Amino acid sequence: MNYSETIAALLKVKPSQVQATIDLLDEGNTVPFIARYRKEMTGTLDDEQVRIVADEVARLRAIDERRAAILKSIEEQGKLTEELKASIDAAETLTALEDLYAPYKPKRRTRAMVAREKGLQGLADIILSQLCTDRTIEDIVSESYLNEQVTSVEEALQGARDIVAETISDNANVRQSTRDKAMKFARVTAEKVEDAVDEKRVYESYYAFESRVDRLLPHQILALNRGEKEGVLKVKVIVDERDWRTSIYDEFQEDLFSPFSDQLTLAIMDAAERLLLPSIERDVRRELSEKADSHAIGVFATNLRALLSLPPLTGHTVLGIDPGIRTGCKVAVVDPTGKLLDSGTIYPHEPKCDWEGSLAKLEEMVNRHHVTLITIGNGTASRETEKLVADLTRGAPSVKYLIVNEAGASVYSASALARQEFPDLDVSIRGAVSIARRAQDPLAELVKIDPKSIGVGLYQHDVDQTALAHSLDGVIESVVNSVGVDVNTASAALLTHIAGIGPKLATTIVAYRDTNGAFQSREELKKVSGLGPKAFEQSAGFLRIRDGKNPLDSSSIHPESYAIAEAVLKRAGLSASASLEERKTVLDELVKSTPVNKLADELGCGVPTLQDILEQLVRPGRDPRTDAPAPITRSDVLHMEDLLPGMALKGTVRNVVDFGAFIDIGVKQDGLLHKSQIPFGTLLKVGDIIDVEILGIEKERGRISLGWVKVQ
């Protein structure tokens, strides 16, 4: 199998680009490093394309490994023919390989095996060949196939039919044809299990459900799977008889002139009902689940990328509140660097209802620490706590508040990492610290949490967990390296996701920093134990050193390209300490007088690398997150009673799912912007700030319907 051509066709790029990427991956280079610093070799494939190459080449190699194992197994059985080998070599999927291997795959003891042991393979071959003869079946069977183990004609015919049925079911062409037709025309039905309990009627839509396979939506497949797993639904795949019969008759045809015609008919029915259709149903369910899983994982990955890419609210001293009722609301104040300044607990809600005391305590903390932003977790009692904060901010115009997604805060607060950060802090207060920091730098805080706990997915607990983890880890790696990290302030959790580092080395870097003080240069990183030449090559460009010995260390220019960057500055007559305004003016003039491609030739580097260097010299270490709109901060609270149809509001996208997007408009319940209301071609992502209008309000059900407002 030619990997580069196969993957190139998928990505619609040149095979040479894919082959170069495969070679770089095989040399131990990471995806972020290849995408950022080897653009000339890959033809500027981006991070996502390089990641697809990595995943696809792993998948294709797994197929080839399976192919080799199958060939070896069949050859050891002495059954490998040239024709079979050619078919196996030509198979492009694992399913096709397994279909070809089915007749030769070691099985548990089957009825066909027992029949073969009794010497009935010859009789099965006669049935399959549809022998035409004037002799009766009884004469043929009695003469050659009765023995101590087979004492009657019917017993012999039954055994032979068992062999024929297995032969039909194991036929690769029959299986492939039946599967293809099932994936197009089969029907999936569901019904409620008679005595099953579904208190909230979650699966009511599927109590009497039927749909053609090719019309099922991913969220329906996942719901059916979950309903079946929970014992509420009974799900079936029904393949019409005309479809499976046609597939079998294309390979095994009855001859009405043969006395064995009826035997083949019986064997075909047995093959279909007992072996083929149950197997095809499993294949269909598996393929549907894989497609739904892939879709759901894609939704989760997209939402997670958007959440991690939310712009940081820098420069704020933040008071974070983890809302609660019986146990009170936990409060933590952190300075602009995320350092914990103060903590406590207030009890504004049931059973103490100390509203005034809670208000006074918050006011005292805000004034003492000069708090400029209050963040409130969106869990239990969130909106009730928002009323308290709104009472506070009405009298303090300089203080705003923000409701943040607290998903995973409790997971973090009980983690080993949280215990290491705050060994003497109560678990519940750690959650409040996390909620405060999420506004300051969502990426730095969220990487401390298992991404599956962040809660921006669709049926994330039902999909393939290995595939989900792989996808989400890739998203985190991509975003972290795109942003880069300050090596002198980053936590070990954040450093872990930098290309070439990993958990152990990240911990070692932080320990070195704690012992020796802040790094003064990227070159100093080489002194860290375990950070060898390869790790330095992969990671250095993504690690920033602010106010260090070399100004280039604060940019994403790789140390291997410093000589080129310095040559550019020299050509422009600039020093490394020149102001950004001066750099921009002079470098613009340089590019006007000497085109980039000519300048690249003169400096002995590639055009993509030079373009990246020029951008970084003007905007060193630019954080791509700052291009996104800042989160909406509020100073007062809205209630559902305040909403009226037609009212226009700004809202924040909290989650994007198949049927639309959930929008936070500042009331207790997120509103649903149905997909029918989203303009064609518009792709929403978590964190987007959009204009919406109220279409409908169902107070008793807590539902708000939203419409899209076109901004003039």
User: pLDDT class for 605, splitting at 50, 70, 90?
Assistant: very high
Question: What contacts 489, CB < 8 A, 6 or more positions away?
Answer: 337
663 DSSP β-pair partners: 653, 671
Alpha-carbon span 499 to 375, nearest angstrom: 32
User: pLDDT class for 415, splitting at 50, 70, 90?
Assistant: confident
What is the rounded average pLDDT of the residues 179-201? 93
What is the rounded average pLDDT of the residues 312-322? 92
Above 80 in pLDDT, residue 712? Answer: no
Q: Which of 88, 98, 63, 453 is nearest to 286 (CA)?
A: 98
Above 60 in pLDDT, residue 660? Answer: yes
Beta carbons of 193 and 234 less than 8 angstroms apart: yes
CATH pick for 511-627 out of 3.30.70.580, 1.10.580.10, 3.90.1150.10, 1.10.150.310: 1.10.150.310
Query: Longest C-alpha distance within the chain, in Å?
Result: 107
Alpha-carbon span 372 to 707, nearest angstrom: 33
The three-class DSSP label of residue 702 is: coil
The better pLDDT of the pair 73, 455 is held by 73
Q: Hey, CA dihedral for 92, 95, 100, 104, is it positive or negative? A: positive
User: pLDDT class for 553, splitting at 50, 70, 90?
Assistant: very high
CATH pick for 640-708 out of 2.40.50.100, 1.20.1250.20, 1.20.120.1770, 2.40.50.140: 2.40.50.140
**55-69: per-residue pLDDT in tens?**
999 999 999 999 999
What is the rounded average pLDDT of the residues 165-186? 96
Beta carbons of 112 and 158 less than 8 angstroms apart: no
The segment with the largest mean pLDDT, out of 103-107, 387-391, 557-561, is: 557-561
Alpha-carbon span 372 to 315, nearest angstrom: 9
**318-348: per-residue pLDDT in tens?**
999 999 888 899 999 999 989 999 999 999 9
- CATH number attached to the domain at 3-104: 1.10.10.650
Q: Which of 488, 588, 500 is nearest to 544 (CA)?
A: 488
The better pLDDT of the pair 495, 1 is held by 495
Share of the chain above pLDDT 90, in %: 64
Phi-psi region of 130 (alpha: psi -120 to 50; beta: other; left: phi over 0): left
Q: How many CA atoms lie within 13 A of 83 on its CB side?
A: 0
User: What are the φ and ψ backbone dihedral angles of 672, each rounded to 5 degrees?
Assistant: -105, 120
Q: In whole numbers, what is the pLDDT of the chain averaged over residues?
A: 91
Domain extent listing, the chain: 3-104, 111-186+239-296, 318-476, 511-627, 640-708
**13-56: per-residue pLDDT in tens?**
999 999 999 999 999 999 999 999 999 999 999 999 999 999 99
Structure confidence at residue 181 (pLDDT): 96
Q: Which of 667, 671, 669, 666 is nearest to 634 (CA)?
A: 666
Record: fold of 111-186+239-296? Tex N-terminal region-like (1.10.3500)
Please tell me the pTM assigned to this model. Answer: 0.83
Above 80 in pLDDT, residue 456? Answer: no
Above 70 in pLDDT, residue 457? Answer: no
The better pLDDT of the pair 402, 155 is held by 155
Question: What is the DSSP secondary structure assignment for residue 674, as one 8-state letter?
Answer: E
* Residue with token string 């007559």: 573
Structure confidence at residue 485 (pLDDT): 94
Least confident among 138-147, 205-214, 298-307: 298-307
Q: Which CATH superfamily is domain 318-476 in?
A: YqgF/RNase H-like domain (3.30.420.140)
How many separate helices (H) and strands (E) can be counted in the chain?
30, 15
Above 70 in pLDDT, residue 711? Answer: no
**117-126: per-residue pLDDT in tens?**
999 999 999 9
Radius of gyration of the chain (CA): 33
Above 90 in pLDDT, residue 291? Answer: yes
Question: What contacts 155, CB < 8 A, 6 or more positions away?
Answer: none
C-beta neighbour count of 3 within 10 angstroms: 18
